[in-house]
Amino acid sequence: MAEKKTREEIGREILRAAQSELYLNFPYLDAALSGLAFLPANGMTLAIATDGETLYYDADYLSERFLRGAESINRAYLHTILHCLLRHLAKKQGREPELWDLSCDVAVESILDGLTSPCLGIAPAPMRRSLYGSLREHMKVLTAEGIYRELLRRDLPEYERARLQREFFADDHGLWDPQGKKDQERNERQDQKWRAASERAQTGMETVLAGRAVGGEAVYEQVKVANRPGVDYRAFLRRFAVPREVQGVDADGFDYGFYAYGLRLYGNLPLVESPETREEKRIEDFVIAIDTSMSTSGELVRQFLSATYSILKSTETFSTRVNIRVIQCDDRVRDDTALHDLKDLKAYMENFQLIGGSATDFRPVFSHVEELRAAGELAGLRGLIYFTDGMGRYPEKRPPYEAAFVMPEDPALGIDVPPWAIRLTLTEQELEAAAHQAGEPAYTENPGGVDERDEDDLLELPEL
């Protein structure tokens, strides 16, 4: 028993030493580095693992790695802390578990390989540099979400995925999965805790500790993306609505003068006559453009269209009769579909097929829309939404309507959106939240089966 206790104490001392050395090298991570309690992994086949609250460790594993060099312990400890700081644990639900674990490991190791502190060991291997380079061709910042989408698109063979898992493994992710309501509540608390630590780290690098945060750019760019304020896509779509009179009682137009006059005249008979129409903002003339180039993921297009459909079909946004044009374009317009009511919109969504696959040029869509406006087909156009990865040729002149370029998280490097354009970055979670608020869930990849709703309630889209 005494021998076992001694091993546990040694393991705890090794972690404390790593914690102290990392704090000296990265003081802007002070709150994060002290955010986990240490407990031995008794009875668990884990090397090092966390549930966001406690760091579980195997003392023999730590001792063996420590004898090979303290740098490996420092690196493993910071690897686990960065998972928490970037809130990878809370984002796992709804994704393919093994691929998400790998994506998180690649994202965190890319940060560690970008840090220049000697306490983290040697420079990255050529295989790692090659992978980072190929991923950066599709995203500016190597976040877990962006890497997950790219690896999902690549559909890696089993042996290649296993090779990457061995290369980037540092800790066990088995405690990330909530097993019940109690675990989910704990995860929500931990997510709030680590969001606060992440915001503190970002503030430290930007202000007080800016002069001492040398070499921390790799941490800063990912923390900044993780702390980006959420976007209410449903509220964003409403900016393209125009005031229209609709049938319905207008409670705000109720005249209390007539009510009081009736009481005075008849004693117990108020005069009540509410207006039968009211003014609401509804979307009528509207353009949805879809980038169908090779760089745009079909799964993201599916989710964007599903969320947009769910929002537009909500009664407070969508008029009974509308004039929506859905335009698919890569380097030229591939398809233009006119939709005039909810039935048209639903039929289009159910039979949607992605057309195209060439380079990206945004100008043909704007030219085509101008032709439609000149012909009187989009006379009341208030806005155009272009779903794209952001890479392509933009029009030089501002159109006479609002134009928004909606991009998935972590758009590609070197995107220079014109100053007249609205740039909106949406995560998959934000699209799902907007669709749920509108009353219908967006399409999500759900290997475990149907969500809480029945199958008949879900919007089924064909494979792209």
Q: Residue 283: how many CB atoms within 10 A of its CB?
A: 22
According to the model, what pLDDT value does residue 64 have?
Answer: 87
pLDDT tens figures, 64-111: 888 888 888 999 999 999 999 888 888 887 788 899 999 999 999 998
Q: What is the pLDDT of residue 136?
A: 85
pTM of the predicted model, to two decimals? Answer: 0.64
CA dihedral in degrees (142, 147, 150, 155; nearest 10)?
Answer: 150
pLDDT value at residue 437: 63
Question: Rounded to an integer, what distance in angstroms lies between the CA atom of residue 47 and that of residue 124?
Answer: 23
Rounded to the nearest 10 degrees, the angle between the axes of helix 126-136 and helix 97-114 is: 110
**What pLDDT is attached to residue 216?**
66
Q: What is the pLDDT of residue 19?
A: 92
In whole angstroms, what is the distance from residue 393 CA to residue 382 CA? 22
Q: What pLDDT shows up at residue 99? A: 92
Phi, psi of 277 (to 5 degrees): -130, 155
Which residue has tokens 């686990």? 80
- What is the β-pairing status of strands 54-57 and 48-50? antiparallel
**Residue recorded with tokens 């040729």:** 393
pLDDT at 459 (0 to 100): 39
Task: State the Cα–Cα distance between residues 258 and 403, nearest whole angstrom.
Answer: 46
pLDDT of residue 341: 77
The region, left, alpha or beta by phi > 0 then psi within -120 to 50, assigned to residue 302 is: alpha
pLDDT value of position 235: 75
8 A C-beta contact, residue 298 and residue 354: yes
8 Å CB contact between 86 and 223 = yes
Task: Output the pLDDT for position 232.
Answer: 72
Please state, in angstroms and rounded to a whole number, the distance separating the CA atoms of residues 230 and 194: 16
Nearest to 380 by CA among 261, 286, 277: 286
What CATH code would you report for 236-247+282-457?
Answer: 3.40.50.410
**Start and end residues for every CATH 3.40.50.410 domain found in the chain:** 236-247+282-457
Cα–Cα distance for residue pair 343/288, rounded to 1 Å? 17
Consecutive 10-residue averages of pLDDT for the chain (464 residues) = 68 91 86 88 76 88 87 91 89 85 93 85 84 84 85 88 91 78 70 83 70 62 72 74 52 63 70 55 77 68 76 60 85 90 77 79 94 88 86 89 80 68 77 63 40 36 39
The pLDDT assigned to 28 comes to 83
Convert the pLDDT of each residue in 65-78 to its tens digit.
Answer: 888 888 889 999 99
C-alpha distance from residue 409 to each of 97, 218, 228, 412, 429 (Å): 20, 17, 10, 9, 10
